[in-house]
Chain A
Amino acid sequence: MYSQGLNESNLASAETPEFLAEFQARIDADEKIEPNDPMPQAYRQTLIRQIGQHAHSEIVGMLPEANWLTRAPTLRRKTALLAKVQDEGGHGLYLYSAAETLGISREQMTEELLAGKAKYSSIFNYPTLSWADMGAIGWLVDGAAIMNQVPLCRCSYGPYARAMVRICKEESFHQRQGYELMISLCNGTTAQKDMAQDSLNRWWWPSLMMFGPSDSDSLHSDQSRLWKIKRFTNDELRQKFVDATVKQAQHLGLEIPDPQLAWNENKNDGAGGYDFGEIDWDEFWRVVKGHGPLNRERIAARTKAWEEGAWVREAALAYAEKQKSANTDPNNLAQKVS
């Protein structure tokens, strides 16, 4: 619905070498590309794919945390978690809206997700088994997301870049909230600290996998960097995440589940950094291809919500149609009943 203002004639531009060179010149000059601007099809498709995946990740990502909403241990934690999961839904909404400016509808993207044609972040296919997972997800998963997402605030596509500014602020808050939850557990009883360690053990490797395949295996990186959709490689971002997170784990008194983790003063051009063990790439690809612990369950939950909600959406449309034919503004309703 947000794509209504688009100039349809620009959806397919003739891609002469001159056009492509001009487009690249705009990118190189750090100009923002806006919805009605001419753009190469491949640029448009890359963004639709990436923003769509990002939106789906927010929506599917609501499920693992929603799993603990009814079991949060205090009223403060319950409200914070609910507000956080709601924020994720809000991120989904901005991102779907940003993608809609490229000429795809939210409904179409949702159908692609449910049909298994669109991907989302694999991390959300892992189960949340304890309360500590609410802390670990905020700390590690949102922490990894921030590493990925902060550079996107400077992405060449205007609507995406602007959506990311707000999203990053909220994600940063979520990360601190998650870490604060971990601090409470680590300052608590042995049972609580064990719960925290167990959670770190389960979420550490999947969090490293969030940065995607190693640079040598990444399909999309080079062109995305030229177009300034992506500004750092997967491996660069992963290294930044490890370097930042190891110290945070030490502060908590938790152990990173990687025997090969070691400080290397020669890393990062002599600034130092951590060497770490090899990711289990078989597991990574297994989960990406749909065979992770909860891939089927996550899509089944989204499908159930979508199918069971169909009659509500149909009723809303039918009501709006009736109001339109009766020439009544449905928004007046609010005044009538308040």
Chain B
Amino acid sequence: MQSAALPTAESDARFIQLVRLADDHLILGHRLSEWCGHAPMLEEDLAMPNIALDLLGQARALYSHAGIIENKDRDEDALAYRRLEREYTNLLMCERPNGDFAHTMLRQLFFSVFMKHYWLSGESSSDPVVAALASKAQKESDYHVRHCAQWVIRLGDGTDESAARLAKALQALTPYLHELFESDSVTQTNGDVGFLPEPSTMQTRWRADIDTIFDLAKLCLPSVENLLTQGKSGGRQGLHSESMGFLLAELQFLQRTYPNMQW
């Protein structure tokens, strides 16, 4: 195992950050899958599950690698299904109920633009597994950005109703943006050793992309200062919204009701 030679603090930081990312992808993929069969048009009944499948695929790779680093015999399902709510460390944005299509697409855009840049930096990770994973995920995120940006632009510059719904979604999601860029000792440790980039270093690139898209969508993002001071936080510490328990009740239902079985 690669992790055996690492100092504990460094190994812990790697595990913690991989699980954070895996949780983001699992929880957002789970939310996105809720649209399957209920989308506004058949093309989106195919597109949203497609994005969800990419996110779940990334989650699987991240959990598996985290499990190897942790070296406590926990596989992807042990990590994805058999933890307590306080142990899930996803961004709060990811667990927000889907709301309408504008909210779903804007949330996905914010997340995917971030991940596109994050994975691009991650391609030069000191860990070859992370580098390979980042390289694949980066291409997928790039596609997600294109898909969501097209919708955000269509909705923003579509009808009065779609513009109003998009503006409402922006208002609802703005407080959650701050958390995307949060730093702490875990991200600093990993940034210092070149394992994964510091999320805060993505902010300028993220902002530039969002501004370009918003310009076409006739939307305006609040200033960075406001994002940082008015932001919600807590996901990385396992402090969730009230909706998270219900999400996990469904996600974990079979694993909790029938423990220790093979499926």
Contacts and interface: CB of A to CB of B under 8 A. Distances in A.
The prevalent SS among residues of A at the interface is helix
A316 interface: yes
Contact of A305 (B40, B100, B142, B158): B40
B253 A71 contact: yes
Contact of A63 (B37, B63, B80, B251): B37
Interface string A90-126: 1011001000000000100000000000000000000
Contacts of A305: 37-40
A71 to B, nearest CB: 5
Nearest to A72: B254
A168 interface: no
Given A62-B45, A77-B263, A337-B149, A69 B34 contact: yes
A313 B41 contact: yes
A66 B60 contact: no
A210 B145 CA distance: 42
A312 B26 CA distance: 26
A92 B39 CA distance: 14
A58 to B, nearest CB: 10
A315 B158 contact: yes
B39 A71 contact: no
A322 interface: yes
A315 B158 CA distance: 4
A309 B102 CA distance: 11
A92 B165 contact: no
A201 interface: no
Interface string A237-278: 000000000000000000000000000000000000000000
A216 interface: no
Nearest to B32: A82
Contact of B157 (A79, A189, A319): A319
B158 to A, nearest CB: 3
A70 B250 contact: yes
A304 B210 CA distance: 32
A308 B254 CA distance: 31
B28 interface: no
Nearest to B116: A338
Interface stretch (B10-18, B47-55, B123-131, B172-180): B47-55
Contact of B161 (A78, A93, A314): A314
B203 interface: no
Interface residues of A, number: 53
A106 to B, nearest CB: 8
A86 B145 contact: no
A195 B209 CA distance: 50
Given A75-B80, A305-B39, A338 B45 contact: no
A192 interface: yes
A275 B179 CA distance: 65
Contacts of A71: 250-251, 253-254
A83 B162 contact: no
B154 A315 contact: yes
A155 interface: no
Contacts of A309: 39-41, 44, 101
Contacts of A315: 154-155, 158-159, 161-162
Contacts of B165: 311
A93 B39 CA distance: 14
B85 interface: no
Contacts of B209: 337
Interface of B: 26, 30, 33-34, 36-46, 49-50, 52-53, 56-57, 59-60, 63, 76-77, 80-81, 100-101, 142, 145-146, 149-150, 153-155, 157-159, 161-162, 165, 209, 212-213, 216, 247, 250-251, 253-255, 258, 261-263
Interface of A: 59, 62-63, 66, 69-79, 82-83, 85-86, 89-90, 92-93, 96, 106, 131, 184-185, 187-189, 191-192, 301, 304-305, 308-316, 318-319, 322, 333-334, 336-338
13 contacts: A74-B77, A75-B60, A77-B263, A86-B53, A93-B46, A187-B262, A188-B261, A308-B40, A313-B40, A315-B161, A318-B159, A337-B149, A337-B216
3 shortest interchain CB distances as A-B pairs: A309-B40, A315-B158, A315-B162
